[in-house]
Structure 1
Amino acid sequence: MTQYKEAHDLTMNLRGMNHPEVAGILHYIGGIHHKRGDYSDAMDCYQEAVRIYHSTLGPGHSAVAATLVCIGSIHYKKRNLDSAMMFYREAFRLNRDAYGLHHPDVAPTLKSIGTILTKKGEYDEAYDVFRDVLSIKCTLHGTDHPEVANAYKSLGNIHYKRSELADAERQYRHALNIYRRTKGEDHPDTVGARTSIEHIRYWMRERGSKQQGPPQDGGERTSGRGGTRTSDVQEV
């Protein structure tokens, strides 16, 4: 932190207050506050960085996108989902317009948008978003990569929440097979995907129909064998 503050002061003296290099340093200082959980100080740094970027590079420049994502992340952690969505969507638009859809900076922000849509129960739009994430990941990494498995798992989560258990199992199996090949049987991601499939198959047997899903209240359920088990699959 001390070194960044010294760099900030030195750059301000050399470049002036309104310079993209000053904004970049403020972004990193904000990141340190962010990691420490000092969200108010982080937000002050991020907002000043955005102001400088806008005044020097213009509001449509892609350089501001990373800072907008960080602001969105703070809103997300504070459960301000609508505000987080606004910043994520703007960052996504800037990166997409600058680099195209199939770019490494686009997919993470798109995934954040899908996560918020899922939390808000807007499953149809979330599913479309995660399909785009899957397409981007396959283009960037090929079809046999852990990031691709993560995207399949996100699609499985949507099917699960819509009680489409057979479809959820199919997506989780895609993820499981990739995790097995790329991370091994004992990796936590592999174990998590396997556990999610076990939960789904349990509820298929319990309800006796693939069209009727598990309860969605987020609590514990009795297994029918004298114990309790949690039905919820692992979220990405």
Structure 2
Amino acid sequence: MEEYPLSIADRICGELEEKNRVLNEYVKDREDIGDKEGVIQVRIHQMALCKVLVNVHNRSPLILVQAHTNLGESYLNNEYYEQALEHLTTALKLNSSLFNQYEDTKPYHPHILTLLGKCYLGAGGIDDSLNLLEKALKMNQSLLGNDHISNSPVLSALAQVQLKKKEYTKALDCLTTVWELHEKTFGMKHESLVGIYTEMAKVHHKQNDLPNAIDCQKRALNLMSELDINTDATADIAVTLAQWLQDSNNFPEALDALRNAEHVYEYNHGMIDKSTAKVKRSICMLLLKASEYEEALEECLELEEIDRSLFGEKSQQYGKNLKVIGTIYMILNRYSEAHDYFSNSLEIFSKLKNSKKTVKEIKEKLQQIDAALKENPELYNNRSKKVDKLPKMQHEEDERADSGSKSDENNSI
């Protein structure tokens, strides 16, 4: 069979379609790294390509429906609601006009309605959002059945609307149905269940139902552990769980959750990282609440090195940590070490603006320590000896100072 060369128009059209396909792959790369602005720019280029394909080369107008929908969704994901509304409304109108020509338009319609519902929800139009989403769900169920997994995104969006309306029971009903659909379609160990559990936990927490909120959050965390998912999202879930466990006075399990988060952050970012430092700080505070002072001290001393590397020795954060360490030493009756840390903290805060209250607090602590050491001079003997690390001349000066009277020694502190 003789092959005829493609016309110039066909070759141009083919090139445009291939470029559009390549741009779709590029969108996936941008989404993977969280570059929402980048996704918008790619979708704008695709919109221009699709207009040429449809208006010049007479390709299916469904291409344009999808282009408007994709661009509208990218604006929605970046909370540009006005632009999202414009493109999604255009997509909806164009898709409606094609119902009698293309069968594929009907199942695509609930998807556009769902995105529009999310758009109105984000912009504060709760009632409009509810109407659109209920219409989307009814249409999707009539086309594909009540048990089809495609009902899940609509129900999830409806749950968010009900949450905004403080209709917590209705929100949980929606999410329970979503959970049942996912379990039936994908099984009990699917990654998609993680997000459903956390959303259910959020609703329970809004209801002040702390036990069920904790239970759902635990399910999410346990499933991520079983699936060996160690992303920052895993750590975030663990941190939230730890806070709720603290609120219920379950300190041991709260500590386990924070240790889990610390392990994930350290694995992903290393020890010298702000996320790792933040969760380690939470561990310190939790141990203090639980009166585990020795363990809290160990954590704070490790954090001292991290804060020094992250923020510097003259930073407010470093000064705060020194103050906490001083407080722990004071609780443990290790007054000499407490004095050292409070003194170093005072030196930092004295040079920072808006720190008068903190400076006053530290000075009061130092006065308490001085008074305690005067009453019980033997407490000073607990000071860690650092003489061997000093130069010889400084060593001799310290020995001459030690030969003075006991009152002079106390005053020098």
The root-mean-square deviation of aligned C-alpha atoms, in Å, is: 3.0
Distance 1:33-1:132 versus aligned 2 partners, 3 A rule: same
Distance 1:125-1:32 versus aligned 2 partners, 3 A rule: closer
How many residue pairs match? The answer is: 211
Question: 1:36-115 maps to which residues of 2 (within 5 A)?
Answer: 36-115=123-202
- 2:119 paired with 1:35: no
Query: Identity rate of aligned residues, in percent?
Result: 18
Distance 1:51-1:178 versus aligned 2 partners, 3 A rule: same
The C-alpha deviation readout for 1:181-235, integer Å capped at 9, x for no partner, is 21345656434423322331232239xxxxxxxxxxxxxxxx9x8889xxxxxxx
Q: When you count helix as a share of all residues, which structure comes out higher?
A: 2
Q: TM-score, normalised by structure 1?
A: 0.76
Choose from 225, 231, 234 the match for 1:148. 234
Choose from 90, 111, 124 the match for 1:6. 90
User: Separation in 2 of the partners of 1:188 and 1:42?
Assistant: 38
Stretch of structure 1 that moved more, 75-84 or 103-112: 75-84
- 2:232 paired with 1:137: no
Choose from 179, 193, 200 the match for 2:265. 179
Match of 1:201 in 2: 287
> Who wins on radius of gyration, i.e. which is larger?
2
Match of 1:231 in 2: none
Conserved in 1, the CA contact under 8 Å of 2:224 and 2:230? no
Q: Secondary structure at the match of 2:290?
A: helix
Choose from 199, 205, 216 the match for 1:118. 205
TM superposition shift of 1:68: 0.8
Distance 1:44-1:191 versus aligned 2 partners, 3 A rule: farther
Q: TM-score, normalised by structure 2?
A: 0.46
User: Separation in 2 of the partners of 1:119 and 1:3?
Assistant: 34
Match of 1:164 in 2: 250
Structure 1 spans left out of the alignment, 5+ residues: 207-222, 229-236
Distance 1:36-1:186 versus aligned 2 partners, 3 A rule: farther
User: Separation in 2 of the partners of 1:50 and 1:187?
Assistant: 44
TM superposition shift of 1:111: 0.9
Conserved in 2, the CA contact under 8 Å of 1:137 and 1:147? no
TM superposition shift of 1:49: 0.4
TM superposition shift of 1:46: 1.1
User: Separation in 1 of the partners of 2:198 and 2:145?
Assistant: 26
Higher relative contact order (CA 8 A, sep 6+): 1
Structure 2 spans left out of the alignment, 5+ residues: 1-84, 293-323, 328-356, 362-413
Distance 1:110-1:198 versus aligned 2 partners, 3 A rule: same
Conserved in 1, the CA contact under 8 Å of 2:155 and 2:175? yes
The C-alpha deviation readout for 1:28-56, integer Å capped at 9, x for no partner, is 12222222222222222111101101111
Match of 2:37 in 1: none
